[in-house]
Amino acid sequence: MKKLFVVLIFFFSGIPLMIPPGVQAGWILVTHDNYPPYNFVDETGTPAGLDTELVLAVMDYLGQGYDIKFVPWKRVVQMTEKYTADIAFQFKPTEERREKYLLVGPLRTGKTVFAVRKDSPLSKFETLADLTPYTIGVNLGYSYGDEFDNADYLKKDTGAKTNAQLIKKLIRKRADVIIGDQCTLAYAARKQAIYEQIRILSIYREFPRYVAVHREKAGIAGLFDHGLNAIRDNGVYDRIIEKWQ
What does the pLDDT read at residue 25?
65
The dihedral sign for the CA sequence 162, 181, 198, 127: positive
Domain architecture of the chain: domains with CATH: 2-108+209-244 (3.40.190.10), 110-206 (3.40.190.10)
Q: Evaluate if residue 2 carries a pLDDT over 50.
A: no
Contact between 201 and 113 under an 8 Å Cβ cutoff? The reply is yes
Q: What is the pTM of this model?
A: 0.74
pLDDT of residue 143: 84
Considering only 23-27, 175-179, 234-238, which range has the smallest mean pLDDT?
A: 23-27
Mean pLDDT for the stretch of residues 68-89: 92
Check residue 118 and give its pLDDT.
96
Q: What's the chain's average pLDDT?
A: 88
Q: For residue 51, is pLDDT > 70?
A: yes
- Nearest Cα to 209, choosing from 63, 50, 48? 50
